[in-house]
Amino acid sequence: MKKRVRRMKKRVRRMKKRARRMKKRVRSMKKKAYSDREMNSQRDSKWIHVDQVLHHQITRRRGFECSVRETAAMAERRSSPFMHLFYVVSIFATFIDNINGQRAQLPWTQEKISHKPSTLSSSDITRVLSHTDLNQMWQRDLRPLLVTRYPNSAGSLAVQQRHLVLACHYDSKYYPPQWHGREFLGATDSAVPCAMMLELVRALDQELKTLKRSNPNLSLQLLFFDGEEALFQWTSTDSLYGSRHLAQKMENTAHPPGATDTNELHGIDLFLLLDLIGGPSPRFGNQFPNTARWLTRMQNIERRLHNTGHLKDHPNDVQYFWPGMPVGPVQDDHMPFLNRGVRVLHLIPTPFPSVWHTFDDNEQNLDRSTIENLNKILQVFVLEYLNMKPQVLNPQNAP
């Protein structure tokens, strides 16, 4: 049945194309008819009058009231055999589309027609309305949007700063649905890195807002890439779709606005890419000498947090970060930026997790202690890089 429907749809599309061609031909004939009437208006009026009379007689036989006062365009459209065929094709196409639509109407798609909402009790209404806070919306959500952004305005100048960039990709490797009864989720590749970045800005919300109010020349920027994974087989053109596009766009965008010698890539202090994180006992090695000092700083933070008892299931003072361990470059979302001179710190474990690109890359195989420890190390790294101090949370400002 589905094949028949597809064949019918193809036939309808072909017929619609023919109808469009006929309509175009009719328009050209109309233009020619108009020019002919200009040359011989008397003859044209005679034929229009005859056509009007015929149409009047036909419509009266069918029981319709019809006026014989019609324009030349109406008479011509009615008298054209091509327009008759066009109407037939259009009606047939609409009929087929309606049939296909009726066949595609599954029961759940029709529930919207009979859906009935519930009615909250007065106590439920009081409870739900107690959650809304106009003052909070005004301060946290509305005012940040009410910022002028024309060149050299305060809003424009505020984003002309340097950025510490945290990046990850949010797409997952594509496998056919229900492959051997299983589905690929991509927990380490790369759901955990995305969740870590969101947790970081949630945990550092007050600190980041305080930083923003100070109008700094350095701030945090988050990038979430789509299309990191290859659709078929990894090549230079079948991979890194989102990062390649963004790197090119940033290279072609002046920064600050109006600059002739610098672009948005020059505004990136450090490009910190997270990938394949979430498995137990990851080891991050040194890929790039010009950012080795930042990997060393990660190691120092790990050691400090270990010594103060802030890390879980962490028997040794150093387990994750190894700046003295050289590793070869890995093709990932940092490459389009690295090739344009951006400094990169690539946090990807060596070796890759054992579940990489398998159906076992799921929540059950994540190591919660490792993820929590890396969250803490990353949050301290960001605070210190941005020269921020932790804020004392005001209970009135708590979410």
Q: Under 8 Å CB-to-CB from 171, ≥6 apart: which residues?
A: 190, 225, 226, 227, 228, 229, 242
Q: Return the exposure string of 159-196: e unless at least 16 CB atoms fall within 10 Å of the residue's CB, then b.
A: eebbbbbbbbbbbbbeeeeeeeeeebebbbbbbbbebb
d(CA 265, CA 269): 9
DSSP β-ladder status, 162-169 and 218-225: parallel
Dihedral sign, Cα of residue 44, residue 47, residue 53, residue 58? negative
Helices (H), 115-213: 122-129, 134-136, 154-158, 192-203, 205-213
DSSP state of 329: -
Residue pair 255/160 in contact by the 8 Å Cβ criterion: yes
In which element (H, E) is residue 344 found?
strand 344-347
Give the active site residues.
228, 275
Strand partners, 224: 168
Helices (H), 274-349: 292-307, 335-338
CA distances from 283 to 192, 199, 280, 357, 374 (A): 16, 22, 10, 19, 12
Q: Tell me: cis bond preceding 351? Omega within 30 of 0 counts.
A: yes
Lookup: tokens for 49: 């009058």
Lookup: tokens for 37: 């009437």
